[in-house]
Chains A and B, each alone.
Chain A
Amino acid sequence: MRILLTHFRFALLKAWAEKRTPLMRLGLFVGITFVLGTAFSSSFQQEDFGKAAVGYLSEDAGTGGDAYFQQLTATPAFAGVATFEDVASFDEGRRRVADGELAALLHVTADYSADLAAGGGHATVHVYGEKYSGVDAIIVRAVVDGFNYGANTARAVDALGETLPDGALTGTALDVETVGQTREMTALTYYAVGMLLFLLLFGAEFGSFGVSEEHLGALASRTRLAPQRTWQMFTGKLAAFSLVTLAQGGLYVLITGVLLDVRWGDIPVVMLVVFSFGALAIALGMTLMLATGDMKKTTGLIQVCLIGFTFLGGGFIATGFGGAEQISPNTYARDALFGAIFGDQLATTWRNVGVLWAVVAVLGVVGVLMSRRKTA
């Protein structure tokens, strides 16, 4: 434990002695956030409150799906806020949503009628929306929720005249599963999160440099002769550098909150996510260094990770990548942060924080094993 604390303490001392670079980078990222948040603000704002274009597709084996859409599209109250359009296939609908032609795709699957007919059963209308599409997403959600509410009420009232089995009114017969977000996202909030994660991911450089100086070169021989274990060095430095990235992230949150008026929501939870993602970045850099044993290769790989993970995690462009974004830790951290900022999906936040720490643990084990292999 004392050895671990020694590494922790001296890693902090070294970070303090070299504080200029992280502080300059912090300033740079605040500036980039301002530029991106300003430049892309129109993408997140509803310039005119015209009708939202909504696609719909029924693949129901029965008639329930078609009936649902007939009633929905014929409801005069909704015609003022949305235009409805039948799409030929699910793939076409998703593509048009992704391209921004449609605000959302309403989809009914083959089992819809069967589910509805089953005693006390649920039938689900799936709503696929462009993530973070702001007002349009809210309109679609309101339309579908409103219609379902009405339909469920009518069905319940109708059923009251009959002999109902126990529990028939305990749930709604029509349900909606929304994939799109209904958060009022601003460009500044979106890019503040993206750039925060980009900034934290630079912690991988901290990690790799921190390990390289004691794993390569003259310090390596003296370090390897000392009565200590690799895991003690790894853990001590990981903790110290994670604390440094936490401080860096905290300053970023403070500065963007004060200067750019970014709303960070639940700050303690945001800081937990920042700490977790910072630890992951540090562990990534350390493991790459221990695995390659080569500073040049490590730096190259870190650059690839920095750009690749940030891109896939939507840090540069607010869009999805057909599932590929799931391989980027930025995606998990981003969703965790949004959960904390908007306070509506804390379950996602906790789950993703768990994912981040699981990755840290795996990286730690791999790093220590790689280090042993190299020194054997």
Chain B
Amino acid sequence: MIIEAEDLRKSFKATKAVAGVSLAIGEGETVGLLGPNGAGKSTTLNLLLGLVTADTGQVRILGEDTRRLSDEARRAIGFVPQEYAFFPELSGLANVTYWARLYGLRRRALDTAVRDALEFTGLWDRRKDAAKTYSGGMQRRLNISCGIVHNPKLLIMDEPTVGVDPQSRNHILDSVRTLSAGGATIVYTSHYMEEIQALCDRVVIMDGGKVVADGALEKVIRDNTDERVVLLETPSPEAARDATDQILRHGLLAAAETDVEGSTVVLRLPPDADFNDLAARVLALGLTLESIGERRPSLETVFLTLTGKKLRD
């Protein structure tokens, strides 16, 4: 195992930030850590990295206690914090070189690693410019370059795409995929469900300082929601509204279970409903339909199911 955490607990005064988290992350896994604000994600990351001391519990990274990590183990860890962790007055090249040197790279290995890290994030052409002159997306990418320049086995990324343009986000996501394909173990936190869905083969959802779901992405989705949605594609929005009226008039579903999105009728099936039976009854109404199909529940649905829809601070 790359990371083994047992029954981690951490309180800040009266607030229980982490209340009994256990995790085991194997080599090569890409794990998405999800949770609403205040769920305990950041504290968990800090506990995993040994940046915060747990009240109880233990974390081992590469078999070593995180409170007493050897230099060798430290060299195996890369961290991309949510905030920019570089010197804005220095150039991108100087920043990446600084971290490469701190991680023990020298001479040709240093030059190669720095170049690779900057090319990887698309910053090589702007390497001589001061980091403070970079756009938000470029600064995010520089943050990643600094975290990966020493080619870590374990990469922990805390919301690396916050506030970036779609182009930079795509580039960052591609980079993470490449790192993952290269064998790195990645722990990735994000508020963007689609990122987790696109990148991670395993998802851990936290709420109230506890893990409320943990497993392969498909399994977590399957196990944690019974929502099934039927989509009826009609030729026009008017046809969709007409189809909805007919469904309601014939009592196939209640009003709360139907919706119209453009020319699509969205039907939410009750837990005991049978898709084939409903489809047959809808077709029997003689509606003008272009297609009928089932939409798989999304990670977002699971997330909202597990953590509720109440707004968080």
Contact = CB atoms under 8 A, between A and B. Distances in A.
Interface in B57-95: 71-72, 74-75, 77, 79, 81-87, 89-90, 94
Given A3-B102, A13-B90, A227-B104, A222 B71 contact: no
Interface string B87-116: 101100010001101111010000000000
Contacts of A218: 81-85
B49 interface: yes
B103 A13 contact: no
Given A14-B89, A218-B82, A221-B81, A226 B94 contact: no
Contacts of B101: 2-3, 6
B102 A227 contact: yes
Given A17-B90, A213-B87, A227-B74, A222 B104 contact: no
A225 B53 CA distance: 14
A376 B86 CA distance: 24
Contacts of B99: 222, 226
A221 B85 contact: yes
B170 interface: no
B11 interface: no
A227 B106 CA distance: 15
A217 interface: yes
Interface string A1-38: 01100100010011001100000000000000000000
B37 to A, nearest CB: 18
Contacts of B285: none
- Which interface class (under 10, 10 to 19, 20 to 34, 35 or more) fits A? 20 to 34
Contacts of B146: 222
B147 interface: yes
A83 interface: no
A155 interface: no
B305 interface: no
B193 interface: no
A228 interface: yes
Given A218-B85, A222-B99, A222-B147, A10 B90 contact: yes
A372 interface: no
A219 B51 CA distance: 12
Interface string B167-187: 000000000000000000000
A14 B90 contact: yes
B94 A10 contact: yes
A351 interface: no
Contacts of B87: 10, 14, 213, 219
Contacts of A213: 87
A226 B98 contact: no
Give chain A's interface secondary structure class.
helix
Nearest to B98: A10
Contacts of B49: 221, 225
B46 A17 contact: no
Nearest to B67: A376
A354 B214 CA distance: 62
Given A2-B106, A218-B81, A224 B51 contact: yes
Contacts, number: 63
A222 B101 CA distance: 14
A210 B72 CA distance: 27
Contacts of B84: 218
Nearest to B74: A227
Residue among A18, A218, A224, A227 with the highest chain B CB neighbour number at 10 A: A227
Contacts of B94: 10, 13
A226 B85 CA distance: 13
Contacts of B85: 218-219, 221-222
A78 B103 CA distance: 76
A241 to B, nearest CB: 15
A14 B88 CA distance: 9
Contacts of A10: 87, 90, 94, 98
Contact of A225 (B72, B74, B86): B74
B130 interface: yes
A153 B298 CA distance: 109
A110 B101 CA distance: 69
Residue among A6, A13, A217, A225 with the highest chain B CB neighbour number at 10 A: A225
Contacts of A221: 46, 49, 51, 79, 81, 85
Contacts of A2: 101, 104, 106
A219 B86 contact: yes
B29 to A, nearest CB: 20
Contacts of A225: 49-51, 74, 77, 79
B28 to A, nearest CB: 21
A224 B53 CA distance: 13
A222 B45 CA distance: 13
Interface string A157-179: 00000000000000000000000
B96 to A, nearest CB: 12
Contacts of A222: 79, 81, 85, 99, 146-147
Interface in A91-139: none
A226 B74 contact: yes
Contacts of B86: 219
A17 B130 contact: yes
A226 B89 contact: no
B136 to A, nearest CB: 15
Which are the 8 A-B pairs with shortest beta-carbon distances?
A218-B83, A227-B71, A218-B85, A227-B74, A17-B89, A6-B101, A222-B85, A226-B102
Interface of A: 2-3, 6, 10, 13-14, 17-18, 213, 217-219, 221-222, 224-228, 376
14 contacts: A2-B104, A2-B106, A6-B98, A6-B101, A14-B89, A218-B82, A218-B84, A219-B86, A221-B49, A221-B79, A222-B81, A222-B146, A225-B49, A226-B99
Given A6-B98, A17-B90, 11 more contacts: A3-B101, A6-B102, A10-B94, A13-B90, A13-B94, A17-B89, A217-B83, A218-B82, A219-B87, A221-B46, A228-B102
